[in-house]
Structure 1
Amino acid sequence: MEEADVSEGAEPRAGREGSGAARCGRDSLPVLLCLLAPEPSAAAPAVRAGALAELALRGLLTDDAGIATPADPDARCDDPVLDGLLELVAESVPRTWGAWVHSRARRTLDPVCARLAASGELAAHHRRVLGVFPAVSYAAADGERAVRLRVRIAEVLGGAGPLGELPAGEALLAVLAEAAGAAPGTGVERRAALTARAESTALPPGVLHRLCTALSAA
């Protein structure tokens, strides 16, 4: 995986690394987590967690005593998937980050899968429920980008390379993927080190822990 996929970014907050806040579309966290998922159609919590993290990295979601809160209800980021989630959060009753990982998560998953299917990176299978209602499910297509991504995240979780040279955005993606069961597990010490590295991004303190706790409980 190219470093730009997960680590290039917008201006960091003071004392914290940038982490991909300028990414759009194909390299956003929800898209990458969908590509990593062994069963994309069942990856709604992982994809939603990635979208929440992406919005937080962009400064569009803030943390208010554990509640995911829009920084500006009228702000948009020119990504339909992320804008849809931001609008949903703004119009709903306040919820914790963990609650948002699961609440109506398919509203985030379905457009991400459709986008990846349109680019040939997922396989779409169309059918009719009860012979009447159209439905679609998605499967991994194992394209070049997905394969490279899985290999790279497995390396990160396995301890390849000095941690100090690891882009914080890659550490963030690896931690979320492991918590979601979309990547190989790692040891306690490596997980703690990667989490500390991931927390040097612009995520508000405590948000990564809340997202991973919700994913691990899924």
Structure 2
Amino acid sequence: METRAKQGESLARSAFLLALDPRKERLTQRGELGLLLRAAALAELLLAGNLADESGRARALTAPAAEPGSLRAVVWEQIASSPPRSWRRWVRKDKGKAVGVVRDELAAARMISVERRRVLLFPVERITARKAYLSRRLAERVGRAVRGGGPVGRLDEDVRVLAALAAAARLRTVVPSRREARPRRDRIRQLSAPVEPIVTALRRSVDEARSASAAG
């Protein structure tokens, strides 16, 4: 996909850009974003044949051709050095670090600029997409994939998977509310098919995070 290639050829990087609110110049749902980014990295590894699903567990196969220190490389190394464990475990592991890793990848690739300052002693990041039109185009394509308008089989694989992951995470820049996602359950299920165990793990992890947050 042309848009994705220009954004760094990474599902995790594209997912980060989808979560960036261009008007507020900050990330939406930052507390849950690490789950989405980890799931995106896992999905990319599964689709590329670097990982396999073994009865609901992730098993490492061949090493990816990924930049050392990238989220994809980090995730694969963690799985390769461990016995097969559930997808849910790998979606949740080190989720807090994932946002910083992908942010730094995008900044190094000059896809975003990051301005750090303090407001009332609290650190604040202002994140700006350097090529905002590419981010908007990607968001439009992913949003259309969720809403329908064409057979799922005709979608580019990365758009299809990003749409499934964004819906599972209920990413507000793509799916504004659960009510909007409800009538599209069958569509989302079709979108999720290539990476279904990861989408399920992400959805459950996001639900758990929200329940824990609501409980205080």
- Do they fold alike, i.e. is TM over 0.5? yes
Q: Which residue of 2 aligns with 1:166?
A: 155
TM alignment of 1:72-83, pairs within 5 A: 72=62, 75-80=63-68, 81=70, 82-83=72-73
The aligned counterpart of 1:209 is 200
1:189-208 to structure 2, matched below 5 A, reads 189-199=183-193, 201=194, 203=195, 206-208=197-199
Looking at structure 2, the residues matched to 190 and 127 of structure 1 have their Cα atoms a distance apart, in angstroms, of: 41
Conservation of the 8 A alpha-carbon contact between 2:152 and 2:190: no
- The secondary structure found in structure 2 opposite 1:27 is coil
Shift of 1:92: 4.1
2:145 and 2:40 mapped to 1: Cα distance?
Answer: 18
Shift of 1:107: 3.7
Give the alignment of 1:1-218 within 5 angstroms.
3-5=1-3, 26-38=8-20, 39=27, 42=31, 43-72=33-62, 75-80=63-68, 81=70, 82-92=72-82, 94-126=84-116, 137=125, 139-141=127-129, 143-182=132-171, 183-184=174-175, 185=177, 186-199=180-193, 201=194, 203=195, 206-218=197-209
Q: What's the CA shift for 1:108?
A: 3.2
Q: Name the CA distance, whole Å, in 2 between partners of 1:209 and 1:36.
A: 20
Moved more, 135-144 or 161-170: 135-144
The DSSP-based 3-state class of the residue aligned with 1:191 is: helix
Change (3 A) 1:103 1:136: farther
Once residues 27 and 5 of structure 1 are traced to their aligned partners in structure 2, the CA distance between those partners, rounded to angstroms, is: 9
Deviation, structure 1 residue 67: 1.8
Q: Is the 8 A contact 1:45 1:102 kept in 2?
A: yes
| TM-aligned CA deviation for residue 63 of structure 1 | 1.7
Q: Distance in 1 between matches of 2:9 and 2:154?
A: 21
Secondary structure of residue in 1 paired with 2:66: coil
Bigger mean CA deviation after superposition, 158-167 or 82-91:
158-167
Give 5+ residue unaligned stretches, structure 2: 21-26, 210-216
Unaligned runs of 5+ in 1: 7-22
Cα distance in 2 for partners of 1:170, 1:34 equals 14
Deviations 1:132-162 (A, max 9, x none): xxx8846353712111111222222222334
Coordinate RMSD, CA, aligned? 3.2
SS of the equivalent of 1:99 reads helix
